[in-house]
């Protein structure tokens, strides 16, 4: 017999500003159960969680909480303003009999001292304090709304382990797929005001959701066909039996009403990038760069080469210097030592983590157009701003809504819309997944994968990095950065640990007594052949020579009178240009292959 629920919401209805947000939603949580609550931005997930927490009242429906059960709720934007220190804020969440030492322990485990003044906290630090507050009492039910937002990977992995070890029931809202998949055993999907439930964790959700939507589409198609048949009968059928005719007319009216009232899935976000002219094959090259601030070394003797079309992930703890590294690579910040070489024709578009370029009083329309216009230019073509807004799931009525009135997810979509409208061949994305729903994340991943330019992405979302990154640069501490081929999981396999720990190779070896038997013969180490060494040394000079030839050919072909004066020579130089460009591409690919091989052998 199943255990009685600790928390139950049944037939919940709620209307905001004339819009029906919840229409019969349900949420049932049994002891020890871990539930993922998923749905699009604006579908009402946070609202349903606040009803579950008892913070707001529903219009209709029932909320039940087992009388002896304790419940704790983590909001998206915690308010610490009434407390002098972070520890005082955390201890205020304890009930009589709770362990006060656990509060101090969690504060320190989350990287705080407890003496911080709330007014000085960053978003990530406030989130850590709020997590300590809800975890310290060991409640029976935990309601967590985007617990990983603004946290770095070490803290996310620590939090995942801490939650996995707890026995309480949980309801989790998160955009972090890996986090949800690792922790949940049931999934509730809030869609168009109602909930559906699957008794499987989030890992099974997306395939199940797609099956449900395909079945709905088939049902809508059948309804459309039925309406068409009834309309055909109405126009051309026999009209002698008046009573039967009236019945069929009523049936047709009912079918049309069903079609009108069917709340379809909202349209998808349409992510279209405004592309600039292609950059050169080489985008960034850093040679032994270093950067320090006062006595703190942020980057030490780092080298890398980023080619056109690569998608480079940058990961590390908060404060490791990820933003500094990006500024060095893009030329925004000069290194203290070493050299950074930028490729030709670079045009960058930057999505900053804090969405700093969005002012709360600016209207949605002006934020997208820059103000004073109803038109936005995408790939050289003007579009009305309302049409562009619809691509990002905004309604025409929201055009004059101040940015400060939008939800976190909506502000994230506005920031994306602004960045993607800028002509670029280099995208710099700093925590792009914060506050995005899963469907928008899917489309963002596809956009990044298909983007013809180069992408630098700072992210703590492990799944996102696995899906988009061609290489990952990891902070190893003390200014050391190492680049690994592949996504986050590939980096962990090569490094032997995630970013929350030092790689296995970096740990000091324990002194051990040598075995009595003779040691096994060492496996011969792979070495570069003479031919490979020679190619690695000579290819840079060959690439420079080919680049000079391409420049000269382009200059000759740019003469507007060349073709008229000598068509045969023009055709000859055009063919030579195409051939030289192919040679350069082949040389660059071969150099990159050999360079990666050299780094693998030496590192």
Q: Which residues are annotated as a binding site for ATP?
A: 39-46, 316-323
In whole angstroms, what is the distance from residue 6 CA to residue 387 CA? 46
Phi, psi angle pair for 20, to nearest 5°: -75, 115
For 114-176, where are the E strands, in sequence order?
141-145, 169-173
Q: Using DSSP bridges, classify how beta strands 194-198 and 296-307 pair: parallel, antiparallel or unpaired.
A: unpaired
Specify whether the CB–CB gap between 114 and 90 falls below 8 A.
yes
In whole angstroms, what is the distance from residue 225 CA to residue 531 CA? 69
Number of helices and strands (H, E) in the chain?
Answer: 18, 20
CB atoms within 10 A of CB 265: 14
Specify whether the CB–CB gap between 324 and 456 falls below 8 A.
no
Q: For residue 498, what are its two tokens? A: 């995630």
The three-point CA angle 269-271-273 to 5° equals 165
Specify whether the CB–CB gap between 173 and 100 falls below 8 A.
no
Of the candidates 309, 304, 306, 305, the residue with the CA atom closest to the CA atom of residue 278: 309
Phi, psi angle pair for 80, to nearest 5°: -105, 10
CA 219 to chain centre: 33
State the binding site: 39-46, 316-323
Phi, psi angle pair for 180, to nearest 5°: -65, -45
Which residue is listed with tokens 């950059």?
279
Of the candidates 127, 126, 143, the residue with the CA atom closest to the CA atom of residue 55: 143
Q: For residue 505, what are its two tokens? A: 């190779």
Coil, strand or helix at 335: coil
57: exposed, middle or buried (Cβ count in 10 Å: 0-12, 13-18, 19+): exposed
In whole angstroms, what is the distance from residue 39 CA to residue 26 CA? 14
How far is CA 381 from each of CA 247, 387, 388, rounded to the nearest angstrom? 52, 13, 12
| Residue 10 host element (H or E) | strand 7-16
In whole angstroms, what is the distance from residue 127 CA to residue 77 CA? 8
Helices (H), 139-202: 153-165, 177-183
Specify whether the CB–CB gap between 153 and 319 falls below 8 A.
no
Helices (H), 166-204: 177-183
Q: Using DSSP bridges, classify how beta strands 337-342 and 282-293 pair: parallel, antiparallel or unpaired.
A: antiparallel
Which residue is listed with tokens 């009242």?
57
Radius of gyration of the chain (CA): 30
Q: For residue 561, what are its two tokens? A: 């009178």
């Amino acid at each position: 017999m199943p255990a009685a629920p600790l928390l139950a919401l049944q037939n919940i209805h709620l209307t905001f500003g004339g819009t029906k947000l919840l229409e019969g939603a349900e949420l049932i949580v049994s002891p020890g159960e871990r539930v993922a609550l998923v749905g699009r931005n604006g579908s009402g997930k946070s609202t349903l969680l606040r009803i579950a927490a008892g913070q707001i009242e529903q219009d209709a429906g029932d909320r039940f909480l087992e009388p002896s059960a304790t419940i704790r709720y983590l909001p998206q934007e915690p308010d610490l303003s009434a407390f002098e220190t972070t520890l005082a804020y955390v201890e205020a969440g304890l009930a009589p009999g709770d362990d006060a030492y656990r509060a101090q322990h969690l504060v320190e485990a989350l990287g705080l001292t407890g003496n911080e003044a709330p007014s000085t906290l960053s978003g990530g630090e406030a989130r850590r304090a709020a997590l300590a507050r809800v975890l310290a009492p060991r409640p029976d039910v935990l309601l967590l709304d985007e617990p990983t937002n603004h946290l770095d990977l070490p803290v996310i992995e620590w939090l995942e382990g801490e939650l996995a070890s707890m026995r309480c029931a949980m309801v989790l809202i998160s955009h972090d797929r890996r986090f949800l998949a690792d922790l949940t055993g049931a999934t509730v999907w809030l869609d168009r005001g109602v909930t559906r439930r699957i008794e499987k964790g989030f890992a099974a959700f997306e395939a199940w959701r797609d099956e449900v939507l395909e079945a709905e589409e088939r049902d809508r198609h059948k309804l459309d066909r039925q309406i068409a048949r009834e309309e055909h009968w109405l126009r051309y059928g026999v009209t002698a039996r008046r009573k039967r005719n009236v019945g069929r007319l009523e049936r047709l009216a009912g079918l049309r009403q069903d079609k009108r009232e069917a709340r379809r899935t909202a349209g998808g976000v349409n992510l279209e990038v405004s592309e600039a002219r292609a950059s050169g094959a080489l985008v960034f090259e850093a040679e032994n760069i270093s950067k320090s601030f006062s006595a703190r070394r942020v980057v030490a003797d780092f080298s890398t080469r980023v080619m056109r079309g690569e998608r480079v992930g940058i990961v590390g703890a908060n404060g490791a210097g990820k933003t500094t590294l990006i500024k060095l690579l893009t030329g925004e910040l000069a290194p203290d030592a070493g050299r950074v070489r930028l490729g030709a024709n670079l045009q960058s578009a930057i999505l900053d983590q804090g969405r700093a370029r969005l002012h709360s009083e600016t209207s949605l329309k002006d934020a997208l157009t820059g103000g004073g216009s109803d038109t936005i230019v995408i790939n050289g073509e003007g579009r009305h701003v309302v049409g562009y807004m619809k691509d990002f799931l905004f309604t025409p009525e929201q055009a004059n809504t101040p940015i400060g009135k939008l939800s976190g997810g909506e502000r994230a979509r506005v920031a994306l819309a602004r960045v993607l409208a800028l002509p670029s061949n280099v995208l710099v994305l700093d925590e792009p997944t914060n506050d995005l729903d899963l469907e928008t994340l899917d489309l963002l991943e596809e956009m990044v994968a298909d983007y013809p330019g180069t992408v630098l992405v700072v992210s703590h979302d492990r799944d996102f990095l696995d899906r988009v990154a061609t290489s990952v640069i990891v902070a190893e501490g003390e200014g050391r950065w190492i680049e690994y081929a592949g996504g986050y999981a590939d980096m962990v396999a090569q490094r032997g640990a995630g970013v929350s720990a030092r790689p296995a190779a970096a740990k000091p070896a324990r002194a051990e007594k040598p075995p009595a038997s003779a040691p096994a013969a060492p496996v011969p180490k792979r070495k570069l052949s003479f031919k490979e060494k020679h190619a690695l040394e000579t290819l840079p000079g060959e690439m420079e020579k080919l680049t000079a030839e391409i420049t000269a050919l382009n200059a000759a072909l740019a003469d507007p009178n060349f073709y008229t004066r000598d068509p045969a020579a023009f055709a000859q130089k055009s063919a030579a240009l195409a051939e030289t460009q192919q040679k350069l591409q082949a040389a660059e690919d071969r150099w990159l292959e050999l360079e990666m091989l050299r780094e693998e052998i030496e590192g």
